[in-house]
Structure 1
Amino acid sequence: MTVDIIGHNLVAISEEMGVAMMRAAYSPNIKERRDCTTALLDTAGHSIAQAEHIPIHMGSMIGFIPGIVSQYHGDIHPGDVFVSNDPYLGGSTHLPDVSVVAPLHVDGELIGFAAAVAHHAEFGGSLGVAPDIYSEGLRLPILKVMDRGVLDEGLIRLIQLNTRVPVERLGDLRSQFAAVSLGVRRYEALLERYGARAVLEATRMWLDKAETQARSALREMPKGHFAFADQMDSDGAGTTDIPIHVAIDITDDGIAVDFTGTAEQVAGQINTARAAVEASVYYVIKTILDPTLPANAGFYRLVDITIPSGTLLNSVAPAPVFMRSDSCQRAVDAMLGAFSQALPDRIPAASNGSITAMNFNGYDTARQRPFAYAEVIAGGAGALPAAHGQDAVQTHITNTANTPVEAVEQNYPLRVTKYALRDGSGGSGRCRGGVGIIRELETLNDGIRLTVKGDRVTTGPWGLHGGGNGQPLAFALNPESDHARTFTRTDNGTALPAGTIVRAMTAGGGGFGAETATAPDEKGNVQ
């Protein structure tokens, strides 16, 4: 009982850190859309407790923590705060995701960290096409931004000088400082309440519990070798039909996930640092084994991951990685495709398969200031074996909310002209795929630059067992006019005149089963 009480206290600390960060943040991207994650980790970077935020953000911490311990060994003190956003040092999965952590001590001994990851609306660099990571933004190695409570003002000035909206960047960083500071205080209060020995022992047992629960679920899994292949439509730089292969071996001892056969890293910005894919794998394993597993790294012990270096899913510097999330979503699709062979009555069809985004940046003439806005849009979820797919939701490795229309129009030179379900976009079948979204914005200034991201633009998300594909993603400028045209990633960075209508039509989910089979009732359930 005490183990569960302390374990849930650790989760509550992580959740409260997230609430504090969202309330203190300046940008709607964090405050409203909640593109952030908070967690407590041990000194090896293993999650002790993670808030229910963004699964892929755990990849921003897996390598960062061991890097801090190695680089600053013997120089980590109460009141210190560290920062990084370098995907190749484990401090991020792409440069806009900035990681901030503060150490946790017990009787003077370092035992872990409180961490806050936030997606900043921009972090310098090109918001058009970038051939390498140097062009994608300001890249911070592992740095101590606060030394025993004293802020490094020089580092803060450096960051602000290299970003388009320096006041907003500082405000969002401060919200992260507040979150990890709160995490440290709450952890110290937990130690005082239960005693250090009890908390540390309960934490160890909390991780062991996740492993034990996962192994219990593993015993019920079919054993064998299961493989699947999917592909990315394009890297936005000329390479198309980019394969992602996965083989999954389920044994009595654990689950091995092997991405051998996946394409080499590409010229475009869809490459992925290994840690982001590891986080994606852990997400899938948790959902397959037991969604009620404690939100910690205990169940990671069952999982072995192989990703050849220099490939799309384990790129090496200086490969650009800004749009890495779409490749991670496709890795999830491939894993689910493999698991569907083992568990055909549990695995859904493919969801929209993208973290669809539009980024607007420029100068706001009405408010007399630069601006940068990241607009991420949901899509349709894949149909389940016994239920229709959900409409208009974020799926898999992301978990963000939408940005309210009021927040967009109060903060940026943009007007939301349409926000609706994309009827008919879900794949057909006994259970239909969820439908995507139509999100339409009008530029109110000249010279606003547009960058889009997203995959599944050629072939829609696949259905299962006779279900149809969902409609693919599409972007359009000035639709339903005499000068309408599509907008693709090769157009990224284009400056738009005032009055331009930008429309995103996100993908629907795949369908499940042949239409002639028994359909769900009015509640969406198959009898």
Structure 2
Amino acid sequence: MTSQSGPDPIVLTLFANRFMSVAEAMGRSLRQTSISTNIKERLDFSCALFAPDGDLVANAPFIPIHLGSMSFAVKYQMQRHGKTLKDGDVLMTNSPHAGGSSVTAVPISSAHVLKPPHSHLPDITIITPVFDTTTHEILFFTASRGHHADIGGILPGSMPPTSVSIFEEGAEIDSFKIVDGGVFDQKGLYEYMIEKPARYPGSSGCRNIRDVESDLKAQIAANYKGVQLLRAMVEEYGLKTVQENMYHIRANAENSVRNLLVDVAKRAGSNVLTAVDYLDDGTPIQLRVEIDEKRRSAMLDFEGTGCEVRGNLNAPISVVHSAVIYCMRAMLDVEIPLNAGCLVPLDVRIPKNSVLSPSRTAAVCGGNVLTSQRIVDVVLKAFHACAASQGCTNNLTFGTGGKNGDGVAVAGWGYYETIAGGSGAGCGWHGTSGVHTHITNTRIGDVEILERRYPVLVHRFGLRPGSGGDGEWRGGDGVVREIEVTHPLQVSILSERRTRAPYGMEGGGAGVMGRNTWIKQRR
């Protein structure tokens, strides 16, 4: 219901929660029907709803780094397939590049998306159009993104710390119709996941295609659950009412961010905010925020950020937008779904050929999980919201299989987990200890499940006392996780904040840097 003064706030809240409940139901379906440890136990997945123009409508509280960039993926697929999509089609993609190196400002609500956008290769997105059963027009899209623990590449787990090219990180899928008119294309899936990545020197195809295929089918089923619930909502309220409230929810998010920008400028006593931080290799992430109080908008300019790096800390522009939209939503003191409206008042400018706008073949697996954390810290630092958090997802992978010394493919598997840390403190509150922070929201691998399924023993898992940083309001402490490998495995760690400590704020102390230790037993 809409009055002359605007939408009914009660009705708006009800519809916001109804949309979020659809995403939550999709998530429950995905968890119940998946089989991999990373998706079923660690909950490294996200589900969301999108408008017919590809803008994010609503989501459940899943993984922030997924949710901001999924809109890019939906819009790219819309452009790629146009009006050729039909009921029963399901699309699959994981290609991480959006807009190439020529994009300097790409609002997430923009319809101009030139290249297939994503975060990093293990995050595979499944997209399903929701058609009107009468007019056959697209009403919504449902989408799910899951982190698949092995999709090929040079190391089990598909998160190699030494990668210098995207081809070393596993299978890349620009656009694949995994379901065509209701028919699952297993042959095409195997070609993308096994055959193509194995053609690159030193790389292997997916080491455990059975788990990946099963989890992809779980994502397809989760999307269909969303399709059913959205159609039921339209049948109950009528398409006009549902879509009106969908756009009102977006407008409400936009207005909330505009109010935030004005409040921040007044509290800071300045319309210009700046911040800089550095990756462990010295690459700067620099930000200048200019707030226009009259227009209630802001420009976020990352000019001065370092150039593309040879390693894998490059972050595609969709990752930058994910970090920004997360920060905007996190700083709001009103309960609204994270959606595209949060970015409408913002002009995000990303310098060409930088670590935040890498070239087509650049390695990116670390940019999604490490550089993204540094972007969040820099945005929150500029807005004076809180001290730095752990700034790292502490990525641990291990597994077996791939090409042997003779170049013959050997079946195997890959395991992936992120290890918790501490969150930064703010004015009036302590940080939280032993949690995943900011762009990730997964669980850590359960010790009993980990030891039962894999050849490892966890000797210690607990807090790292005093590591959070001193102050009137203390930062949250990190953790210690000691794992013994009981069988020959390939193990790798991809991490940050090992040479540059998480900084304090307002005179507060810095947190303790992370440390990776490898102990080799003599047998």
User: Which range, TM-score by smaller chain?
Assistant: 0.7 to 0.9
2:485 alignment partner in structure 1: 443
Alignment deviations for residues 357-395 of structure 1 (CA, whole Å, 9 cap, x no partner): 11001169xxx9722110210101112222221101111
User: Any unmatched runs of 5+ in structure 1?
Assistant: 234-239, 341-346, 484-496, 500-527
Identify which range, 102-111 or 241-250, moves more after superposition.
Answer: 102-111
**In structure 2, the residue corresponding to 1:155 is in which secondary structure?**
helix
Give the alignment's TM-score, normalised by structure 1. 0.85
- If asked which structure has higher relative contact order (CA below 8 Å, sep 6+), I would say 2
Deviations 1:116-168 (A, max 9, x none): 00001111112242220011111011111111211112112224532001111
CA distance in 2: counterparts of 1:293 and 1:218, whole angstroms: 16
In the alignment, the residues of structure 1 paired with residue 231 and residue 469 of structure 2 have an alpha-carbon distance, to the nearest angstrom, of: 51
- Between the aligned partners of 1:163 and 1:115, the Cα distance in structure 2 is 23
Separation (CA, whole Å) in 2 of partners of 1:160 and 1:333: 35
Match for 2:358: what amino acid? S
Q: In the alignment, which residue of structure 2 is the partner of 1:510? A: none
Q: Give the match for residue 477 of structure 1.
A: 518
Partner-residue secondary structure (3-state), 1:177 = helix
Measured after TM superposition, the shift of residue 63 of structure 1 is 1.9
Q: 1:227 aligns with which of 265, 268, 274?
A: 274
Match of 1:488 in 2: none
- Aligned residue for 1:87, secondary structure, equals coil
Q: Deviation at 1:334?
A: 1.0
> Separation in 2 of the partners of 1:83 and 1:218?
37
Please give the alpha-carbon distance, in whole angstroms, between the structure 2 residues aligned to 1:431 and 1:361. Answer: 41
Q: How many residues align?
A: 466
Matching residue of 1:335? 379
- Provide the residue aligned with 1:417 in structure 2: 459
Deviates more, 1:178-187 or 1:426-435: 426-435
Question: Counterparts of 2:224 and 2:85 in 1: how far apart (Å)?
Answer: 15
RMSD: 1.9
SS in 1 for 2:167: helix
Partner-residue secondary structure (3-state), 2:308: coil
Q: What is the match of residue 463 of structure 1?
A: 504
Structure 1 residues 190-213: Cα deviation after superposition (integer angstroms, max 9, x where no partner)? 111111121112212221222233
User: Aligned to 1:140, which of 158, 168, 173?
Assistant: 173
Residues 224 and 216 of structure 1: is their aligned pair in 2 closer, same or farther, counting only changes over 3 Å? closer
Task: Check conservation: 1:96, 1:119, Cα contact below 8 A.
Answer: yes
Report how far residue 432 of structure 1 moved: 1.8
Distance 1:18 1:498, change over 3 A: farther
Maintained 8 Å contact 2:68/2:325: no
Alignment of 1:259-278 (within 5 A): 259-278=302-321
Partner of 1:61: 70
Instruction: State the SS of the aligned residue for 2:188.
Output: helix
TM-score by structure 2 length? 0.86
**Residue pairs, 1:58-457, within 5 angstroms:** 58-88=67-97, 89-106=115-132, 107-127=135-155, 128=160, 129-161=162-194, 162-222=205-265, 223-233=270-280, 240-252=281-293, 253-290=296-333, 292-324=335-367, 325-340=369-384, 347-362=385-400, 370-446=412-488, 448-457=489-498
- In structure 2, the gaps of 5 or more residues are 1-9, 98-114, 195-204, 403-409
C-alpha distance in structure 2 between counterparts of 1:160 and 1:225, whole Å? 47
Counterpart code for 1:339: F
Task: Please report how far the alpha carbon of residue 355 of structure 1 lies from its aligned counterpart in structure 2 after TM superposition.
Answer: 1.0
Indicate conservation of the 8 Å contact 1:59/1:93, yes or no.
no
Is contact 2:117-2:318 (8 Å) kept?
no
d(CA) in 1 for partners of 2:452 and 2:398? 15
Query: What amino acid is the match of 2:376?
Result: V
Letter in 1 for 2:491: L
The one-letter amino acid paired with 2:32 is R
Of all paired residues, the percent bearing the same amino acid is: 32
The alpha-carbon deviation at position 277 of structure 1 amounts to: 0.6
2:466/2:477 contact within 8 Å kept: yes
1:511 is matched with which residue?
none
Give the conservation status (yes or no) of the 8 Å contact 1:160–1:169. no
Deviation at 1:291, TM superposition (A): 5.1
3-state SS, counterpart of residue 386 of structure 1: coil
- The 1:435–1:419 alpha-carbon spacing in structure 2 relative to 1, beyond 3 Å, is same
* Counterpart code for 1:226: L
Deviation at 1:295, TM superposition (A): 2.2
Residues 305-337 of structure 1 show CA distances to partners (whole Å, capped at 9, x for unaligned) of: 000121011112111001112111101111111
- Distance 1:335-1:213 versus aligned 2 partners, 3 A rule: closer
1:359 maps to a residue whose letter is T
2:103 paired residue number: none
Counterpart in the other structure of 1:48: 57
